[in-house]
Amino acid sequence: MIPAPRMRPAAFLPVAFLPAVMAGALLASVATARAATPQSLFEDGNAAYKAGHYDQAVAAYQEVLANGIVDPRALYNLGNAYFKMGRIGLAIVQYERALRLAPSDQEIRDNLDLARGQIHDRPPEPELQYPIRVARDTLEMLPSGPLDAAFLVLWFVTAGFAGALPLVGSWDRRRVLALATLAAGLLALTAGAAVAYQVRMEEAAVAIILPDKVDVRSGPGEENTVLFTVHEGTRMELGNRLDTWVQVSLPTGLSGWVPASSVEKV
């Protein structure tokens, strides 16, 4: 039995869920009872989800996002509704989008892993040494804001120490300051590399396969040879685009062309 994804019923404001027999009446009357604000739409989505009306929940969460609300909690709950509908590809898209906004959120990461566990294609990731793997996983969980701030602070500290070196008369103090400058500089370089890695990951053009099965071809067109087949939920990197076709690749290095309508960019 596949475990159910964990919902966030109170992502905007505390929401008291109604029993299933009352949820339909609530959704039918809410439009006339009050204006459709992002908050009320989110609550409608939560009530629909609780009642098992996952298509209505999807519609409500999508309308929240259409109002310009960029919130990982709305994306997370939208992913949960798609998961309940059996649309694993779209669920993974929403979880990945939510995780980009809240990289340290363990619940989003857990549900993303849960959804990925249901897909047909799970290409092996490149083998990494333990310290490198730990560093990568840590960077992927760190919010970008504090890391950016740490880099700027270390940069200015390094510049300040370097500027103070000529002003120090004592040789012993100058040596200590030089060592401090070197240490701060190394930390600044490390933080800068971490920031660059996060930027590259955030800007990476990746997409998720949406249909149950898609043939990856050697060129942009149905007349080209089928190289391999991928299934719903597979994560692929995007490359060039030509008319209605897009070039995609797997972490293993396999690449080819698929219809652009078969993928959803994260």
The contacts found for 159-163 with CB under 8 angstroms, 24 or more apart, are: none
In a domain, 95, yes or no: yes
31 and 110, same domain (yes or no): yes
In a domain, 181, yes or no: yes
Examine the domain organization and report whether 139 and 94 are in the same domain.
no
Q: Under a CB-based contact definition with an 8 Å cutoff, are residues 227 and 254 in contact?
A: yes
Which of 90, 116, 142 corresponds to the end of one domain? 116
- Which of 116, 85, 112, 86 shows the shortest CA–CA distance to 98? 112
* Overall average pLDDT of the 153-178 stretch: 88
- Please check whether residues 198 and 210 belong to one and the same domain: no
Asked whether residue 153 is domain-assigned, the answer is yes
Whether residue 229 is contained in a domain is answered as yes
Residue 5 included in any domain: no
The answer to whether position 150 is within a domain reads yes
CATH assignment at residue 243 = 2.30.30.40
pLDDT above 90: residue 190? no
- Whether the pLDDT of residue 80 is over 90: the answer is yes
Residue 218 forms part of a structural domain: yes
SS (H, E, C) 81-143: HHHHCCCHHHHHHHHHHHHHHCCCCHHHHHHHHHHHCCCCCCCCCCCCCHHHHHHHHHHHHCC
For the full predicted model, state whether its pTM sits above 0.85.
no
Looking at residue 220, what DSSP letter applies? S
| Dihedral class, residue 19 (left if φ above 0, else alpha if ψ from -120 to 50, else beta) | beta
My answer on whether 233 and 193 are in the same domain is no
105/172 same-domain check: no
- Is 125 within a domain? no
The predicted pLDDT at position 136 comes to: 61
Q: How many C-alpha atoms does 81 have within 13 Å on its Cβ side?
A: 29
Query: Are 184 and 238 in a shared domain?
Result: no
Which domain, by its residues, includes 244? 206-265
Number of structural domains the chain divides into:
3
Rounded distance between C-alpha atoms, residue 124 and residue 213, angstroms:
19
- Is the same domain home to 61 and 143? no
Q: What is the pLDDT of residues 214-257, one digit of tens each?
A: 999 999 999 999 999 999 999 999 999 999 999 999 988 899 99
User: Highest-confidence range of 125-129, 148-152, 158-162, 166-170, by mean pLDDT?
Assistant: 158-162
Q: Quote the pLDDT of residue 123.
A: 64
Q: Please, what is the average pLDDT of the chain?
A: 83
